[in-house]
Amino acid sequence: MEEMTQLAGQKIQHRQLTKLGLFRRFIFLTIGAVLMGVGLEIFLIPNRVIDGGITGISIMLSHLTGWSLGIFLFVLNLPFFFMGYKQIGKTFAFSTLYGIIVLSITTSYLHPIPSLTHDVLLATVFGGITIGVGVGIVIRIGGSLDGTEILSILVNQKIPFSVGETIMFLNLFILGSAGFVYGWDRAMYSLIAYFIAYKTIDVVIQGLDESKSAWIISENYREIGDAILARLGRGVTYLNGEGAYTGDDKRVIFVVITRLEEAKLKSILEDHDPQAFLAIGGVHEVRGGRFKKKDIH
């Protein structure tokens, strides 16, 4: 009976956490989709600059036919919703569908509003940033606002190219097509907007305090580890290693730091062992342990 009570309590707690998680997911999906809609309708579209992917195709079709952009965004992305539902997962698929619906509605409401600027370069920069922030939030929460990403994930299983390479190839083709619709100067502005959005997405997903992993090999590993703990407040891990050439036992220090702490780490090594071996690499995500990093999941 006690086991049944415990199981019931666990189910109730799990259901409560799931509802909270869903609420947060819908809030961030809404924010991200609205921001993308603002970037499109307030900056890019009035200045005849497009975004990549299905969104770019929808913008050109809307321009050529005179139909609402929201209609094309929804209709063209709908097949990819079913593909994502079957191949990637229900949560991702429904998050994507909700985001696309919000994006379609947002563009329809914002379309009559004039652009904040008619300077094409300013519109390109701020439109790219706004779209990048919106898409980054949606991707970080576990969704998508463009079927191109879903198509690339599925196609990647059958062709020898990465998802990123596939997306870049498709977008170069789509953005290049803008030259025939709006003129080649607008196609080049569209490439700039896409590049800015791409970089902004990276910042949103990884955060301004991008994490880095550091591997240190030194005879003074204990002093260096203590200094990192004291001066950076970061936990370190000592690993056993062996030199392939000498066969000597080595102690390897592993620590995760932020980008802003990299200079201080190098200063610690200069103080304790200027000849220490140091290798630093990027880390996509950090969870658990002593390392605390803000995340909106």
> Per-domain residue ranges for the chain?
2-206, 211-282
User: Which is more confident, 78 or 260?
Assistant: 78
Residue owning tokens 């290049």? 176
User: Which is more confident, 244 or 217?
Assistant: 217
Q: pLDDT class for 60, splitting at 50, 70, 90? A: very high
Maximum average pLDDT range among 124-138, 147-161, 235-249: 124-138
d(CA 146, CA 143): 9
Residue owning tokens 């619709």? 181
Contact 293, 209 (CB under 8 A): yes
d(CA 162, CA 288): 29
Q: Give the global pTM.
A: 0.71
Q: pLDDT class for 285, splitting at 50, 70, 90? A: low
Mean of pLDDT values over 33-46: 95
pLDDT over threshold 70, residue 243: yes
d(CA 45, CA 61): 12
pLDDT score at 52 = 87
pLDDT in tens, 162-194: 656 677 778 888 888 888 988 899 999 999 999
Mean of pLDDT values over 14-30: 75
pLDDT score at 35 = 96
Among residues 101, 94, 114, 97, the alpha carbon closest in space to that of 46 is found at 114
d(CA 102, CA 145): 10
- Domain 211-282 sits in CATH at 3.30.70.120
CA max distance for the chain: 74
pLDDT score at 162 = 61
Side chain identity at 151, as an amino acid letter? L
Tell me the average pLDDT of the chain: 82
Side chain identity at 134, as an amino acid letter? G
pLDDT in tens, 116-140: 889 999 999 999 999 999 998 988 8
d(CA 132, CA 35): 9
pLDDT over threshold 80, residue 234: yes
pLDDT over threshold 90, residue 160: no
Maximum average pLDDT range among 70-84, 108-122, 281-295: 108-122
pLDDT exceeding 70 applies to what percent of the chain?
A: 82
Q: Count Cα neighbours of 184 within 13 Å in the Cβ-side half-sphere.
A: 0
Maximum average pLDDT range among 29-43, 141-155, 196-210: 29-43
pLDDT over threshold 70, residue 63: yes
pLDDT over threshold 60, residue 10: no
Q: pLDDT class for 98, splitting at 50, 70, 90? A: very high
pLDDT over threshold 80, residue 207: no
